A = this chain, B = another copy of it.
Amino acid sequence: MAEKGVTPRSEDYSRWYTDVVQKTELADYSPVRGCMVIRPYGYALWENIQAALDRRFKETGHVNAYFPLLIPMSFLQKEGEHVQGFSPELAVVTIGGGETLEEPLVVRPTSETIIGHMYSQWVRSYRDLPILINQWANVVRWELRTRLFLRTTEFLWQEGHTAHATEAEAQEETQRMLGVYADFAINEAAIPVIQGKKSDREKFAGAVASYTIEAMMGNGWALQSGTSHFLGQNFAKAFDIKFLDQSNETRFAWTTSWGLSTRMVGAIIMAHGDDHGLMLPPRLAPTQVVIVPIWKTDAERSSVLAFAQQALQTLKGAGVRVKLDDRAEVSAGFKFNDWEMRGVPLRMEIGPRDVEKHAVVLARRDMPGKEGKTFGVPAAGLATAVPEMLTTIQAAMLRQATEFRDANTRTVSSYDEFKQVLESKGGFVRVHWAGTGEDEDRIKEETKATVRCFPVDKPEGEGVCFYTGRRTDRVAIFARAY
């Protein structure tokens, strides 16, 4: 039970975030530096994320499997760029069963290497391709600066790893999964992400090209929320994933990988939360509706609770994730605040007069005050009225987040203007970009903003780069990012 609310967002965004995570009991710090405990409320949210993604993975022909946690150190070293990227972040097991290991084992930071090795055993002929496997797993990356959900030493994620006979197929798969992530983010999490390609500076270590969905948080910062990598033949060559094609020639396979993690919980918190706390999209909320009964006398109490029980059963029968808060030791007002902080999308209030009228009051989390309240909703129609209102809330949350993103996306025509916009307003800066990697580095150093992506959709056509003055058809989104 929370004693008091969260620090207002406007006062201290960073503290607001930590407050929301801890006071709503999504997660807690652990005694191991940088690791977190995902508490039941946070894990229930993650389970809903998992279900929504897993369904999409299976619909696109993927199956799940499980590969070992521990990877021989020598495997990491087989792909040059990969080992460079991940070496500084490794946790290493050097002792097993009381003895020093001959070869140290790495706790997986990602599984391209061990999975590449297994694929090389399984693939012989073009008939064995494609392999379309996903894994739900924990991974460990030794991060220096951690933040609950956003960047933790251990995190949960899914990692898809596919192998294909042709480059075109692998490219197509990379784009398909980027699309699956975007579809999930937009239609389940109500986050209007932008799909785009990562710059070389920001791509996955070992990939030919990395693609991302970028989300805008409530403070205008960007959050990379899922990535899909075209790995070319880099890992196939490093791990010898070869096959006989239809003309009986030996070829290397083409591979992809794609991942989305518990970081998405952080995205949901920051894309939708407000001064009162969490605001969860109905499709992912562990509790979609909370029923708060209101009474004064004992007689009122029993009739209100009986009525509330009926509503509870009706909604359960309609497939709604609903909770009845019948606690006697706290006031209705306390419950209102508590569930508001926990981001439950819809509150149902039932008092003695509602019972008389065979009706209830519905209050939307996404619309404060009277505006979000509907009075006299007939109890007889709840099985359809409530799901409809949840759909309405889901759509409204996406609309609101889209409007916020668009209002905070700006274009600039000079580097001075760029710096000024970032400093005074933040948000996304969407510009034509013909700079180099070194230019990116310099901008990052001077403004803390990075190229978040080269968006796939760029209706603006050709234009002038704000930094180099060169004409280009390349568009980039710059922002400060988590």
How often does this chain occur in the complex, in copies?
Answer: 2
Interface membership of A369, Cβ < 8 A? no
Residues of B with C-beta under 8 A to A37? 65-68, 118
Bound Cα distance A32, B68 (Å):
8
Asked if B92 contacts A94 (CB within 8 A), the reply is yes
Residues of B with C-beta under 8 A to A38? 65-67
Interface membership of A43, Cβ < 8 A? yes
Interface membership of A88, Cβ < 8 A? yes
Question: Which candidate, A69-77, A181-189, A374-382, A384-392, is the interface stretch facing chain B?
Answer: A69-77
Contacts A63-B40, A66-B37, A154-B70 hold; do A31 and B114 have CB atoms under 8 A apart? Answer: yes
Asked if A31 contacts B66 (CB within 8 A), the reply is no
Residue from the list B28, B70, B89 in contact with A35, Cβ < 8 A: B70
Interface membership of A95, Cβ < 8 A? yes
Interface membership of A83, Cβ < 8 A? no
A417 to chain B, nearest CB (A): 39
Question: Which candidate, A138-146, A210-218, A301-309, A472-480, is the interface stretch facing chain B?
Answer: A138-146
Asked if B69 contacts A154 (CB within 8 A), the reply is yes
A402 to chain B, nearest CB (A): 32
Asked if A64 contacts B90 (CB within 8 A), the reply is no
Residues of B with C-beta under 8 A to A88? 97-98
Interface membership of A30, Cβ < 8 A? yes
Residues of B with C-beta under 8 A to A35? 68-70
Interface membership of A36, Cβ < 8 A? yes
Interface membership of A105, Cβ < 8 A? yes
Contacts A93-B93, A93-B107, A94-B95 hold; do A65 and B39 have CB atoms under 8 A apart? Answer: yes
Interface membership of A319, Cβ < 8 A? no
Q: Beta-carbon contacts of A451-469 to B below 8 Å, as 1s and 0s?
A: 0000000000000000000
Within 8 A of B (CB), among A284-343: none
Asked if A154 contacts B32 (CB within 8 A), the reply is no
A215 to chain B, nearest CB (A): 23
Residues of B with C-beta under 8 A to A118? 28, 30, 37
- Report the count of interface residues on A (CB-CB < 8 A): 55
Bound Cα distance A63, B42 (Å):
11
Asked if A66 contacts B107 (CB within 8 A), the reply is no
Asked if A64 contacts B43 (CB within 8 A), the reply is yes
Interface membership of A175, Cβ < 8 A? no
Residue from the list B28, B95, B117 in contact with A91, Cβ < 8 A: B95
Bound Cα distance A32, B94 (Å):
13
A395 to chain B, nearest CB (A): 29
Residue from the list B32, B64, B65, B71 in contact with A105, Cβ < 8 A: B32
Bound Cα distance A209, B35 (Å):
32
Interface core residue of A38, A88, A93 (most chain B CB under 10 Å): A93
Within 8 A of B (CB), among A85-138: 87-98, 104-105, 107, 114, 117-118, 121-122, 133, 137-138
A4 to chain B, nearest CB (A): 16
Asked if B64 contacts A114 (CB within 8 A), the reply is no
Asked if B142 contacts A68 (CB within 8 A), the reply is no
Asked if B144 contacts A97 (CB within 8 A), the reply is yes
Bound Cα distance A40, B64 (Å):
6
Q: Beta-carbon contacts of A154-172 to B below 8 Å, as 1s and 0s?
A: 1010000000000000000
Asked if B87 contacts A98 (CB within 8 A), the reply is yes
Bound Cα distance A105, B140 (Å):
13
Q: List 6 A-B contacts (CB under 8 A).
A: A37-B67, A47-B64, A69-B140, A92-B95, A94-B95, A97-B144
**Which chain A residues have a beta carbon within 8 Å of chain B's beta carbons?**
28, 30-32, 35-40, 42-44, 46-47, 63-72, 75, 87-98, 104-105, 107, 114, 117-118, 121-122, 133, 137-138, 140, 142, 144, 153-154, 156
10 closest A-B pairs by beta carbon, nearest first, are A97-B142, A40-B63, A35-B68, A92-B95, A38-B66, A96-B142, A94-B94, A30-B68, A43-B65, A40-B65
Other A-B pairs beyond A28-B122, A31-B72, A91-B96, 19, CB < 8 Å: A28-B121, A30-B67, A30-B114, A32-B105, A32-B114, A37-B67, A38-B67, A40-B63, A42-B65, A44-B63, A66-B156, A69-B140, A87-B98, A90-B95, A91-B93, A92-B96, A96-B142, A97-B142, A137-B138
